[in-house]
Amino acid sequence: MGISSLGVGSSILTQDVLDQLRAADEATMITPINTKLKAEQDKQDELDVLDASMNNLIDAIDEIKSATLYDSRTTNVTGSSVSVSAQSNSDVQSFSLDVVKLATRQIEQSGSFAAKDTAIATGVGSLNLNIDGQNFTIDYDDTTTLDDLKKTINDVAGDKVQATVVQIAGGDYRLFLSSVDTGSTQNITMTDNAGAGSALDPAALSALTTSFDAAAVQTGIDAEFKYNNQTITRSSNTVSDLVSGLTITLKEVGASTVSVEQDREAIKEKMNSFVEKYNSTMNELIKTTKASTDAAERGVFSSDSSIKSMKSALSDMLSLVGGGVGSLMDYGFDVDKEGKLSFDSSVLDTKLDENPKNVEAFFSGGTYTKADSSTVELTGAFAELSTIVGGYTDRNATLDQLKESYAETISTINDRLTSMTDRLNAKYEILSKQFQAYDAIISKINSASSMFVQMANAYTAAQNNG
């Protein structure tokens, strides 16, 4: 507040008096509006929290509703000779794998060179490198060294062969070629192209073309293993064309047993997530709809019929879904007297052991086989839950409508607050001017009164002296 001279003349109509009058008006005109605004803003904030909680809940429900959850597979391997990964929806099965021998790469080495920078040729020419029936032309000239040859081979044929220069001993450098792939077809040969300006140094000619056509350091062979005692050969140690949906990696010679199972842990993880999200949402609903005579304990939605209806719907829905062939409680879910949901995974394990197809049909929809062998088509318990919760979380559904309603109410209250504040500002601007005018009048009257008192006092004194 700025410095005011109001009341200087009279000491009666002061700024403090004006402030007290305004405070009284604000208490009756502004404070109730602010109180209402705060209450609506609290509801809006709580609604945002509740909206997020409900959306988390329906996300958890929809993950269980999806049939792909039940297609997930896990593998268990006894033994260390293989590892196995399974794609979704691959067959549930068990089998044995006995690795007899692993597939190997073909490895060849050249003869000896004095140094890695030893020149291999006296002129221009080319070599033919053959691996797995594929030919590659390796050009050289009189500046090409053993190390240059290595680099050229990797540049030209690197998808099929890996070249490296190795120092065996002092003055003994050799070129090693290793096939990228494994198997019996990976034989490597290297010959000088006659008629192409061949000019290999005689020593290099012997070291390269002769050695690479001789016995290999390691011969490429096919993998051999037994699948359920049936002998199988493959050119690679990674086998993805034996059992549909499975990738088998042969690791060492030895016997292993493999089981492919439904990934129950993934299902249980989603079930536990649903329980967590449900309880979080219900706790929020219980807190915000709590009725109490104590304002500090009373929930912000204690008188909101839409939110209380949503709480009742979520509380009741667990016992309503199931398509008439059971309830969620049959699959390990339970609700205590306080409305808290729990999940016993061992009950679900028992159900999955009995009939995994029925479990999937009950949760996400499909054909359910009854005890009398008759069948019924189910929508799926979690599809039903999704429909119920979606009635609140879908676009333009209950929660969206409530958010829009609270936003409009807050906007209206803010407009009212602005209007009322403007009215008070105008009123007290006028009143301040009136106080200043009255203060000036009172000041003049006080001055005149003081003058008359002085005159009277002077006259009385003169009379007494006379």
State the pLDDT at residue 458.
Answer: 62
pLDDT at 2 over 50: no
Q: How far apart are CA 465 and CA 176, in angstroms?
A: 143
Nearest-CA neighbor of 352 among 146, 99, 150, 69?
Answer: 69
Q: Is 141 left (phi over 0), alpha (psi -120 to 50) or beta?
A: beta
User: Following DSSP, what letter does each residue of 302-340 receive, concatenated?
Assistant: TT-HHHHHHHHHHHHHHHH-STTS--GGGGTEEE-TT--
State the pLDDT at residue 453.
Answer: 63
Q: Which pTM value belongs to this model?
A: 0.71
Q: Considering the chain, what percentage of its residues have pLDDT values greater than 70?
A: 90
Summary mean pLDDT of the chain: 89
On whether the CB atoms of residues 442 and 9 are closer than 8 A, the answer is yes
Q: Is 7 left (phi over 0), alpha (psi -120 to 50) or beta?
A: left
Q: How far apart are CA 104 and CA 98, in angstroms?
A: 17
**pLDDT band at residue 7 using 50, 70 and 90 as cut-offs:** very low
Q: Which two structure tokens, joined as six digits, stand for 181?
A: 């792939």
Q: Say whether 246 sits in a helix, a strand or coil.
A: strand
CATH code for the domain in which residue 113 is found: 2.60.40
Same-domain check for residues 34 and 56: yes
How far, CA to CA in Å, does 93 sit from each of 89, 352, 418?
12, 15, 73
Length of the chain: 466
How far, CA to CA in Å, does 417 sit from each of 35, 167, 364, 411, 428?
11, 89, 52, 10, 16
pLDDT at 465 over 80: no
Same-domain check for residues 110 and 95: no
Residue found under tokens 């309880």: 279
Q: Which amino acid is at 263?
A: D
- The residues with which 248 forms a beta bridge, in sequence order, are 84, 239
Give the strands of the sheet with 134-140, arranged side by side.
134-140, 125-131, 188-192
On whether the CB atoms of residues 117 and 171 are closer than 8 A, the answer is no
On whether the CB atoms of residues 232 and 226 are closer than 8 A, the answer is yes
Number of domains observed in the structure of the chain: 3
Strand 134-140 with 125-131, pairing = antiparallel
Q: How many CB atoms lie within 10 A of CB 396?
A: 8
Q: How far apart are CA 161 and CA 298, in angstroms?
A: 77
Same-domain check for residues 396 and 273: yes
pLDDT at 8 over 50: no
Q: How far apart are CA 95 and CA 92, in angstroms?
A: 10
Nearest-CA neighbor of 174 among 120, 109, 128?
Answer: 109
Across residues 414-431, what is the average pLDDT? Answer: 86
Same-domain check for residues 270 and 418: yes
H or E element, residue 259: strand 254-262
Q: For CA atoms 402, 408, 409, 410, give the dihedral sign.
A: positive
Q: Say whether 402 sits in a helix, a strand or coil.
A: helix
H or E element, residue 225: strand 223-227
Same-domain check for residues 368 and 457: yes
Same-domain check for residues 78 and 68: no
State the pLDDT at residue 212.
Answer: 87
Q: How far apart are CA 27 and CA 352, in angstroms?
A: 67
Same-domain check for residues 299 and 444: yes
Cβ partners under 8 Å of residue 169, min gap 6: none
Same-domain check for residues 296 and 390: yes
Same-domain check for residues 341 and 438: yes
Q: Which is more confidently placed, 243 or 462?
A: 243
Nearest-CA neighbor of 110 among 170, 157, 160, 177?
Answer: 177
pLDDT at 3 over 60: no
Same-domain check for residues 93 and 118: no
Q: How many CB atoms lie within 10 A of CB 7?
A: 19
State the pLDDT at residue 1.
Answer: 43
What pLDDT digit, counting tens, does each position of 162-174 carry?
A: 999 999 999 999 9
What pLDDT digit, counting tens, does each position of 166-206 carry?
A: 999 999 999 999 999 999 999 999 999 876 556 888 899 88
State the pLDDT at residue 451.
Answer: 62
State the pLDDT at residue 377.
Answer: 95
On whether the CB atoms of residues 366 and 384 are closer than 8 A, the answer is no
Same-domain check for residues 300 and 363: yes
Q: Which two structure tokens, joined as six digits, stand for 76?
A: 């268990």
Residue found under tokens 């189910």: 378
Across residues 245-256, what is the average pLDDT? Answer: 97
Last residue of a domain, one of 231, 262, 293: 262
Q: How far is CA 59 from the centre of its chain?
A: 12
Q: Is 251 left (phi over 0), alpha (psi -120 to 50) or beta?
A: alpha
Nearest-CA neighbor of 119 among 202, 5, 194, 43?
Answer: 202
Q: How far apart are CA 122 and CA 199, in angstroms?
A: 6
What pLDDT digit, counting tens, does each position of 10-41 carry?
A: 555 567 777 788 888 888 888 898 889 888 88
Q: How far apart are CA 98 and CA 76, in angstroms?
A: 16
Q: How far apart are CA 282 and CA 148, in angstroms?
A: 73
Q: For CA atoms 8, 11, 16, 21, give the dihedral sign.
A: negative
Same-domain check for residues 167 and 18: no
**pLDDT band at residue 429 using 50, 70 and 90 as cut-offs:** confident
User: Following DSSP, what letter does each residue of 347-383 receive, concatenated?
Assistant: HHHHHHHH-HHHHHHHHH-EEEE-TTS-EEEE--HHH
Structural domain boundaries enclosing 253: 73-102+222-262
